Amino acid sequence: MAKAALATGEERSSSPQKSSSTNQVATLWARTTDFLKDVRGEMRKVVTPSRSEVQSTTLVVIITVFVFAAFFYVVDSIFGSALKWLLHWLGGQ
């Protein structure tokens, strides 16, 4: 009978196997605890900026927003005028 089982590709082990769901839970628990340890280690490296650092970076952001707004206004005006001229030249309104 063992030869017939091996011939058909069936294989049975005589020792009971550990449940795969138990292994999955154990590895999930280990991975989760490792992840949380890593998060805790990284959070220890975080430094809260001082008030003056926050004010200076905020000022840089505000100035940059206004510079880009002015740039895009000028570019939009140029393209708008060029498109209006092109449509007028092609016989549009």
Structure confidence at residue 12 (pLDDT): 53
Amino acid at 1: M
Residue scoring higher pLDDT (2 or 67): 67
Q: Does 3 map to a domain?
A: no
* Tally of structural domains, the chain: 1
Q: Does 27 map to a domain?
A: yes
- Predicted TM-score of the model (pTM): 0.52
What gap in Å lies between CA 21 and CA 28, rounded to an integer?
Answer: 10
Q: Name which of 28, 32, 49 is nearest 40 in CA terms.
A: 32
**Residues 6+ away with beta carbon under 8 Å from 93:** 87
Q: Does 13 map to a domain?
A: no
pLDDT at 90 over 60: yes
Domain that holds residue 75: 20-89
Structure tokens at 24: 């999955």
Q: Does 25 map to a domain?
A: yes
pLDDT digits (tens, 9 = 90+) for 45-87: 999 999 999 999 999 999 999 999 999 999 999 999 999 999 9
Q: Does 52 map to a domain?
A: yes
Q: Does 64 map to a domain?
A: yes
Contacts 24+ apart (CB under 8 A), 68-75: none
